[in-house]
Amino acid sequence: MIEIIGPLTHARHPGTTRAGGKPAPLQKQLIERLQQAILTGRLPAGSLLPASRMLAAEMGVSRNTVVIAYEHLAAVGYVVADRKGTRVSPLSSPAARGEPPAQATVRDVAYAARVGQFGATRTQGDSTLPLTPGTPALDRFPLPAWRRALERAMERSLPLALGYGTPAGEPALRDAIAAHLRMARGVRCDGSQIVITEGAQEALNLCTRLFSNPGDTGWIEDPGYRGAKAAFHLGDLNTVPMPVDAEGIKVPDDAWQTQPPKLLYTSPAHQYPTGAVLSVARRLALIAQARSCGTWLIEDDYDGEFRYTGEPIASMQGLVEDAPVLYVGSFSKTMFPALRIGFVVLPRAIAAHTEVALQEILRGGHRLEQLALAHFIESGEFGRHLGRMRRLYRERQQALRDALTEHFPASAILGGDCGMHLTLRLPDAIDDNALVARALTEGLNPRALSAFALVPRSGANGLVIGYGCTPAEQLAPAIRTLARLAGASSGTARA
Ligand SMILES: Cc1ncc(COP(=O)(O)O)c(C=O)c1O
């Protein structure tokens, strides 16, 4: 038997102990060795184990140790004991049957197979590097105020807030968000319509789960947000790309008749990544068509708070009473991404009907953060932070625009006075993925515009350049570097 399971490590032989520690008790070692031998088929089903006295002598342990080990193995079903002795049970593990282990294939990971990019990686650096789109100015976040809000939540709500919360999220936060959205984004809602999620991503996944069935059609902006595409794939939707122009998503005239969708994803305040603002004519047309076709419009208002000129662009949800809109928001840009708090505003008529479903799929956690955020909003701290960030991002956007105009004079800059990124169109001759990979070696992290295209085509190359986390004075040198790298493969940039 010692040839099959190997010798045990005795504490009295110091040379054989594991590095830096005592060996496991003999009984535990014996159980583990026998289990492994059975699972890997070295002790095949039906084989008779030695009598306890014999094995004890062979392994240099007490008989009692072997008896306890056999009893343990019998209790878990590795062996069966009767009057004739102790035998290995027939197990269904392929290794125990002496078969080679099955290799997992991409088809086994059904979601990866649907997405079709198993193993494929995008060039993507650390999200705090300069020029990363979507990362806010983390070093300007008011940490002392946030710490106070967290401490206040702990003082007032512990230990109760350690338990499960309401599946839709803390009522105080839902009310605070609703009040803020009514005023700042023109959303028609109260707290009962809001479901708190783990960032906008979970809200998109939830919308897909709640409002569509596998096989339904989902329309999505192209180029568009990869997170929305991922949510539709996860829901096994038939995902159809819709073109985008300077007025936002542009649905071809006949599409509503031929293939009406169950879900339509759009980012109307600031199309991601082109920056287009969806015109009011198209908003009204989408709402009217969605009403007549039974479609839910997912409005992703991910950075609508950051508008630098004129009045904020109000939400599509609030444009008309009872619009068939699922309004999705996130605190990833307005607070910080690791907070992982987002939300969806459900239509009033629907909210009550989702309660049972939400109880089944959500559990209500992160209660302290939610309570702290509620206080942060209600106390005015959130509004003050937004005001400071608007001024900062306006200045950074201007610095980026100036640098792009100087170093890429022949390239169009997309994006209005909004958000935390600008998009630069590049000629097809420049491989934007290769450019992004080279930029990363210089510590810069813009994204390739072509990576947002759902359908590969010409005219889709460019760079999505974030300025939220990059100080204004670093933008000109960073863009000069990008121009040098781009100039190596084309004459469009001025190095
Ligand atoms: C278009 C869009 N929607 C939503 C989000 C926010 O996602 P989350 O709240 O999951 O961080 C982002 C973040 O980059 C985004 O670009």
Q: Is 199 in the pocket of ligand 1 (CB under 6 A)?
A: yes
The string of pLDDT tens digits covering residues 75-126 is 999 999 988 899 999 887 777 777 776 777 766 777 777 776 544 456 577 9
Report the atom number in ligand 1 closest to the C-alpha of 199.
9
Strand order across the beta sheet in which 79-82 lies: 48-49, 85-88, 79-82
CATH class (in words) of the domain with range 113-120+143-382: alpha beta
Across the chain, which has 495 residues, the per-10-residue mean pLDDT values are: 90 55 87 93 93 95 95 93 91 74 73 64 79 97 98 96 96 98 97 98 97 97 95 95 95 92 97 95 96 97 90 90 96 98 95 91 95 98 97 97 96 91 95 95 96 84 97 98 87 54
Look up tokens 């992290």; give the residue: 445
The string of pLDDT tens digits covering residues 283-327 is 999 999 999 999 999 999 999 999 998 777 889 999 999 999 999
Report the atom number in ligand 1 closest to the C-alpha of 272.
1
Residues 6+ apart with CB under 8 A from 96: 38, 39, 40, 41, 44, 45
Report the atom number in ligand 1 closest to the C-alpha of 202.
10
Length of the chain in terms of residues written: 495
pLDDT at 239: 95
Same fold, 2-88 and 113-120+143-382: no
Q: Is 471 in the pocket of ligand 1 (CB under 6 A)?
A: no
Q: Is 337 in the pocket of ligand 1 (CB under 6 A)?
A: yes
Q: Is 225 in the pocket of ligand 1 (CB under 6 A)?
A: yes
Distance CA 222, CA 238 (A): 15
Tokens of 240: 């159809």
> Under CATH, which architecture does the 2-88 domain have?
Orthogonal Bundle (1.10)
> End-to-end distance of the chain based on CA atoms, in angstroms?
74
If you take atom 7 of ligand 1, which residue's CA is the nearest one?
Answer: 200
pTM, whole model, 2 decimals?
0.87
Q: Which helix (H) or strand (E) holds 39?
A: helix 26-39
CA 302 to centroid of ligand 1, rounded, Å: 6
Q: Is 299 in the pocket of ligand 1 (CB under 6 A)?
A: no
pLDDT at 310: 78
Distance CA 153, CA 371 (A): 6
In the chain, where the domains are located: 2-88, 113-120+143-382, 384-487
The number of CA neighbours under 13 Å toward the Cβ of 130 is 19
CA 199 to centroid of ligand 1, rounded, Å: 8
Q: Is 273 in the pocket of ligand 1 (CB under 6 A)?
A: no
Q: Is 330 in the pocket of ligand 1 (CB under 6 A)?
A: yes
pLDDT at 18: 52
Q: Is 86 in the pocket of ligand 1 (CB under 6 A)?
A: no
Mutate to test the pocket of ligand 1, among 221, 272, 467 (most ligand atoms within 8 A of CB): 272
pLDDT at 121: 53
CA 464, 424, 270, 291 dihedral sign is: negative
CATH assignment of 384-487?
Answer: 3.90.1150.10
Report the atom number in ligand 1 closest to the C-alpha of 134.
14
Q: Is 267 in the pocket of ligand 1 (CB under 6 A)?
A: yes
CA angle 170, 229, 454 (to 5 degrees): 155
Q: Is 342 in the pocket of ligand 1 (CB under 6 A)?
A: yes
